[in-house]
């Protein structure tokens, strides 16, 4: 399958997905600051204020879909994650010059070394899904932070749900 066809297919599937309402995580992480209307991949509107190749531009285009979330000790890509990754793949198809990193994370309720391995597994699951959608694997770096970099700081289920994540980031 050549890139052009892949892109067209992606656009088509993303258009279909845009209509679906995404099931939100139990507690949403804090919204990115410059969020435009999320997941409008086919729209002609460019995210305002940030240049191509920045995290702000990426987040402006895909909204909360920069990050996917996992169940305890799991690393499978569920339907909600798939929708987010499709939005990401569509974005990266539009901007083929962009390289990015997927950061895998775990919640604090795991042992340190296991969590490093688990974050690695989660980030790789996200990467494999993006590659299956046509994103060149050479554009994707992967790093695990285990439980060392939480975004939600409480010690409760909703905080842990926000920390079990794989976040795609564009590092300038």
Q: What is the 3-state secondary structure (H, E, C) of the chain?
A: CCHHHHHHHHHHHHHHHHHCCCCCCCCCCCCCCCCCCCCCCCCCCCCCCCCCCCHHHHHHHHHHHHEEECCCCCCCCCHHHHHHHHHHHHHHHHCCCCCEEEEEECCCCCCHHHHHHHHHHHHHHHHHHHHHCCCCHHHEEEEEEECCCCCCCCCCHHHHHHHCEEEEECCC
Q: Which is nearer to another protein, 48 or 154 (CB)?
A: 154
Residue tagged 């795991």 (tokens): 110
Q: In the bound complex, what is the minimum distance in angstroms from residue 39's beta carbon to another protein? A: 26
Give the binding site for another protein (CB under 8 A): 73, 75, 108-109, 111-114, 116-118, 120-121, 123-125, 127-128, 142-144, 146, 148-151, 153-155
Q: Which is nearer to another protein, 127 or 165 (CB)?
A: 127
Q: Which is nearer to another protein, 32 or 47 (CB)?
A: 32
Q: In the bound complex, what is the minimum distance in angstroms from residue 40's beta carbon to another protein? A: 30
Q: In the bound complex, what is the minimum distance in angstroms from residue 57's beta carbon to another protein? A: 22
Q: In the bound complex, what is the minimum distance in angstroms from residue 75's beta carbon to another protein? A: 8
What does the angle CA 44 – CA 45 – CA 51 come to, to the nearest 5 degrees?
115
Q: In the bound complex, what is the minimum distance in angstroms from residue 76's beta carbon to another protein? A: 12
Q: Which is nearer to another protein, 9 or 117 (CB)?
A: 117
Distance in angstroms (rounded) separating the CA atoms of residues 50 and 28:
24
Q: Which is nearer to another protein, 41 or 150 (CB)?
A: 150
């Amino acid at each position: 399958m050549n890139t052009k066809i892949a892109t067209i297919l992606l656009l088509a599937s993303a258009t279909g997905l845009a209509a679906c309402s995404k099931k939100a995580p139990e507690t949403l992480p804090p919204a990115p600051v410059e969020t435009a209307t999320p997941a409008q991949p086919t729209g002609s509107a460019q995210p305002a204020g940030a240049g191509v190749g920045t995290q702000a531009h990426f987040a402006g285009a895909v909204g909360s879909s920069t990050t996917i979330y996992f169940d305890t000790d799991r690393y499978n890509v569920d339907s909600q994650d798939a929708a987010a990754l499709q939005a990401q793949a569509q974005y990266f198809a539009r901007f083929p010059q962009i390289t990015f990193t997927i950061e895998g994370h775990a919640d604090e309720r795991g042992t340190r070394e296991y969590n490093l391995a688990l974050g690695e597994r989660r980030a790789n699951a996200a990467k494999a899904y993006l590659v299956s959608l046509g994103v060149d694997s050479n554009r994707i770096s992967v790093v695990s932070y285990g439980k060392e970099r939480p975004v939600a700081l409480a010690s409760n289920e909703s905080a842990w749900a926000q920390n079990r994540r794989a976040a795609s980031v564009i590092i300038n």
